[in-house]
Amino acid sequence: MTDQLLRPTTAPATVVVDLAAIRHNVETLRAAAPGAQLMAVVKADGYGHGLVPSARAALAGGATWLGTAQQGEAVALRDAGITARLFTWLHVPGTDFEAALSRDIDLGVSTTWALDEIASAARLLERPARVHLKIDTGLARGGAFGADFDRLVADARRYEREGVVTVVGVWSHLVSSDVPDAPITAAQIVVFDEAVRTAEAAGCRLEVRHLANSAATLTAPRTHYDLVRPGIAAYGLTPLPSVASSDELGLVPAMTLTARLASVKQVPAGQGVSYGHAYRTTTETVLGLVPMGYADGIPRNASDVGPLAVAGVRRTIAGRVCMDQVVVDLGPGSTVSAGDEVVLFGADPAGPTAQDWADATDTISYEIVTRIGPRVPRVLVGEEALT
């Protein structure tokens, strides 16, 4: 998908982000939820792909909302000139809610303290805050649980009558969306529908009900309601790795991580490699030095298991992952040279993929793409997809 000629960098390692892939993935997700609007979740720097470029690509693909966990991320989107509806939900006491309200940002609300602080900010600004009340349908993370939700609705209605708040949404988040037909999903839908009835019976005029993340957008139409909130699938990674690959879902991974070999050298059989000599060569062989380490987001538990492709051949990290580098055993007689490209992961379904890294290191692809360090430059390709 990415062309070596498009990589105008001599950096030791590079992240290439394909904006056309993000646009395509959002179009694919929209087709999976034709009755709902789509909020692209771009939290955590667009899952490591870049906040503003990812947002623009998602909007080009038909997203009408953008979602972020932290308010600062939503503020950055608005200040970059993005005019779409923005939604943010993870607040701490003392947050400068005026910064969000003055930028016309919708706020998720799980607690009465947040509602009170938002109402105070709205009163000062003399403009009503648009809030989405979050019901805890079973995840026991964010959201108001049980009778706390009824209290939240009652308080929100009081603020609505005062004119400082408008309740535009009820929303929640799923426990096991990556397991299609999980019984907990059906149970969460029941609690969610009850919360919607509670809010409407209290007089809230809801514009959007939203529950689905990527996996539910692709597999659980009953969770689509008015708005779906996919994140990982917009970046082309499967949210259901035990069910279907990205390729099988029609998704194209947007991130390619490459490095350039810093050195290549001959060593004898029996040579211990990297800290602690956790790896030992079995024959005379050629070792390559890859200038990326745990400071760049290579998990240290990728030692001896992290997959790479060098000159099109699948290899595995030899020995321990260091802070700035890893070693790869290129095999006897390797003709690879210093400066040659190493692909850590990318869009090719043959791999390695970010999912292969997740499988090798016992995590999820979300963690692989969000943890690439700031030392690694991001190069954007496919920008024509934004116009």
Q: Applying CB under 6 A, does 237 fall inside the site for ligand PLP?
A: no
For 273, residues 6+ apart whose C-beta sits below 8 A from its C-beta are: 267, 279, 280, 281, 287, 318, 319, 327, 329
Judged by beta carbon, residue 231 or residue 293, the one nearer ligand PLP is 231
Strand ranges inside the chain, DSSP E: 13-18, 37-41, 65-68, 85-88, 106-109, 129-134, 165-171, 208-210, 227-228, 255-260, 263-267, 272-273, 279-280, 285-290, 307-310, 313-318, 326-329, 341-345, 378-381
Site string for ligand PLP, 189-228 (x = CB under 6 A): ------------------------xx--------------
Residue list 295-314, contact with ligand PLP (CB under 6 A): none
What are residue 85's phi and psi, to 5 degrees? -60, 135
Count of chain residues binding ligand PLP (CB under 6 A) = 11
Q: Applying CB under 6 A, does 232 fall inside the site for ligand PLP?
A: yes
By beta-carbon distance, which residue lies closest to ligand PLP? 231
Q: Shortest distance, CB of residue 151 to ligand PLP, whole angstroms? A: 22
Q: Which of 43, 134, 225, 235 is labelled catalytic?
A: 43
- In angstroms, the CA 130 to CA 108 distance is 9
Judged by beta carbon, residue 230 or residue 346, the one nearer ligand PLP is 230
Q: Applying CB under 6 A, does 229 fall inside the site for ligand PLP?
A: yes
Question: Quick check: is 275 catalytic?
Answer: yes
Query: What secondary structure letter does DSSP report for 144?
Result: B
Give yes or no for a contact between 128 and 134, defined as CB atoms under 8 angstroms apart: no
- In angstroms, the CA 215 to CA 217 distance is 5
Question: Quick check: is 134 catalytic?
Answer: no
Query: Among 73, 28, 18, which residue's Cα sits nearest to residue 253?
Result: 18
For 167, residues 6+ apart whose C-beta sits below 8 A from its C-beta are: 131, 132, 133, 153, 156, 157, 160, 199, 204, 205, 206
Q: Which of 134, 159, 265, 275 is labelled catalytic?
A: 275
Q: Applying CB under 6 A, does 61 fall inside the site for ligand PLP?
A: no
Judged by beta carbon, residue 239 or residue 319, the one nearer ligand PLP is 239
Q: Shortest distance, CB of residue 235 to ligand PLP, whole angstroms? A: 8
Q: Applying CB under 6 A, does 41 fall inside the site for ligand PLP?
A: yes
Judged by beta carbon, residue 47 or residue 279, the one nearer ligand PLP is 47
Judged by beta carbon, residue 61 or residue 230, the one nearer ligand PLP is 230
The site for ligand PLP (CB under 6 A) is made up of: 41, 43, 69, 173, 213-214, 229-232, 239
**Residues designated as active site:** 43, 275
